[in-house]
Chains A and B, each alone.
Chain A
Amino acid sequence: MLVTRGFKGRRREGDADRLRLPPGQFLTPEFPVLTTGPTQHTRLDRWSLALQHGGSLLGKWSWEQFEALPQTEITCDIHCVTKWSKFDTRWRGVTIDNLLRAAGLAVAPTGFLMAHCDGGYTTNLLVADLIEARAMIATHFEDLPLLPSHGGPARLLVPHLYFWKSAKWVRRLAFREENTPGFWESHGYHLRGDPWREQRYEGDR
């Protein structure tokens, strides 16, 4: 650890807050927008969500069908790799567990998953990071339909990983055997992205 001469720090969060912040993160009251390119706008009547395993389709839902699936609300802290964290964000949507159930699967496929999104964005995840109420397809933020700039109509929400894993405008979830890198993961970011281990970049352990 190198002490920076003259640096005292200004935004010291209280002790409770600091314990809730992963290393290198700071707390923001705002909800910044970060994407690689322009916001995607998908009409709800053209929207669908597909679940795949290998080459086969496990399930596919239109917007209406998706909205009819069991809804779950979660309140969580979110952590962006660009260093901001936001506490107590409230989301509503369909957990991956419920999505698997709706597709008639009693147990989740093992291995990995690639999330595919409008605009071509992809991100890879461990199935274990998605099940047991750890992740959902979110359609509402603080009781309001998710804005396109924040990933609406539907985004993945995996709050215990850096927020780039919570892919905006998600349309297809594909289970697979291998852990191949998605978009950011092939541009120098970490394959898993656990904020508590500060797995920001490819070379981080």
Chain B
Amino acid sequence: MIDAATAAAQWRVATVTAIRAETASVKTISFDVPGWPGHLGGQHVDLRLTAEDGYVAQRSYSIASGAGTSPQIELTIDAVPDGEVSGFLHEELRVGDQIEIRGPIGGYFAWSAEYDYGLLLIAGGSGIVPLMSMLRSRDAAGATQPARLLYSSRGIDQIIYRAELDRLAAQTTQFTLTHTLTRNAPSGWTGERGRIGRVMLTRRQFTPVGNPDVYVCGPTAFVETIAEHLVAMGHRASNVRTERFGPTGAIRT
């Protein structure tokens, strides 16, 4: 019997079982990971690619599929321009290929149905991935406390998991979904427009009432700005959990 930490640190060979397009630049890849120790919503894996001459690249990816111990896990990958690993996963990877994965990693940016105190989720772009895992976990666990998602995308075609989010919003009374589009909104658009700011957060009731757990995920600058707004609105800093996906918009010194 090996303990959980040892199991999570161990590299496993995962086999690609399906690849599907979510948007023009985003794909979801399903893996079969024998011996997968199980995960919570919001955790991530490390993925390791090795070239024939031994050159190695590693990156972190959030687990998109809901919590549980199933050896089938899903990752959702945005193709960043010129990206070494995301580019390979998009252009080269095929069903049946094998890849090394280890995890789950990150016990902090994680949500468990045992902590059902109300959820405020704020996502930018592919930052939706770990939050989707939380929403899927929440739905499967039949959580009863209210959950809200405010999800920022550039345009309507860039929204990841759009149909599934709509379905969750329609079926689960306690889940409120709001999209905001930052570049162009189609005519008749009923969601928000523009970047997320304090006014929008207040209008959509992302307030500290009831001390909800807040999770913010997306590009670094996005997360930074929103976390500051939330604290200014009275959220306890310790209730605001953040995950920054990448150097996009990083503060250059």
Residues of A at the B interface (CB closer than 8 Å) are 1-12, 23-26, 28, 30-40, 82-84, 119-120, 141-142, 144, 147, 149-150, 183-184, 186-188, 200-204
Contacts and interface: CB of A to CB of B under 8 A. Distances in A.
B237 A119 contact: yes
Interface in B1-54: 3, 5-10, 13, 46, 48-52, 54
Interface stretch (B70-78, B104-112, B139-147, B182-190): B104-112
Given A31-B252, A38-B231, A4 B107 contact: no
Given A2-B100, A7-B51, A32-B246, A201 B105 contact: yes
Interface stretch (B84-92, B160-168, B191-199): B84-92
Contact of A30 (B8, B97, B98, B252): B252
A32 B5 contact: no
Contacts of A9: 49, 51, 55, 57, 84
Interface stretch (B119-127, B172-180, B220-228): B220-228
A51 B102 CA distance: 39
Contact of A38 (B7, B102, B228, B247): B228
Contacts of A149: 224, 251
Contact of A188 (B10, B106, B252): B106
A24 B220 CA distance: 22
A3 B52 contact: yes
A147 B88 CA distance: 35
Contacts, number: 142
Interface residues of B, number: 55
Contacts of B69: none
A38 B242 contact: yes
B241 interface: yes
A33 B244 contact: yes
A58 to B, nearest CB: 28
Contacts of A150: 251, 253
B242 A37 contact: yes
Given A31-B252, A147-B253, A204-B9, A38 B60 contact: no
29 contacts: A1-B54, A4-B49, A5-B92, A7-B92, A8-B51, A9-B49, A9-B55, A9-B57, A9-B84, A11-B57, A12-B55, A26-B57, A26-B58, A26-B84, A31-B251, A32-B246, A33-B224, A37-B241, A38-B230, A82-B60, A83-B60, A144-B253, A147-B251, A150-B253, A187-B107, A200-B46, A201-B8, A203-B10, A204-B9
A150 to B, nearest CB: 7
A119 B82 CA distance: 37
B5 A38 contact: no
B240 interface: yes
B99 interface: yes
B172 to A, nearest CB: 27
A111 to B, nearest CB: 23
A188 B105 contact: yes
A36 B241 contact: yes
Nearest to B7: A203
A125 B192 CA distance: 47
Given A1-B54, A7-B50, A32-B246, A37 B87 contact: no
A6 to B, nearest CB: 4
B171 interface: no
Given A23-B56, A147-B253, A188-B107, 4 more contacts: A31-B250, A36-B241, A150-B251, A203-B9
A200 B9 CA distance: 8
Given A2-B98, A3-B50, A203 B13 contact: no
A82 B227 CA distance: 20
Nearest 6 A/B pairs, CB to CB:
A203-B9, A202-B5, A38-B227, A203-B6, A187-B107, A203-B5
B50 A1 contact: yes
Interface string B211-242: 00000000010001001101100000110111
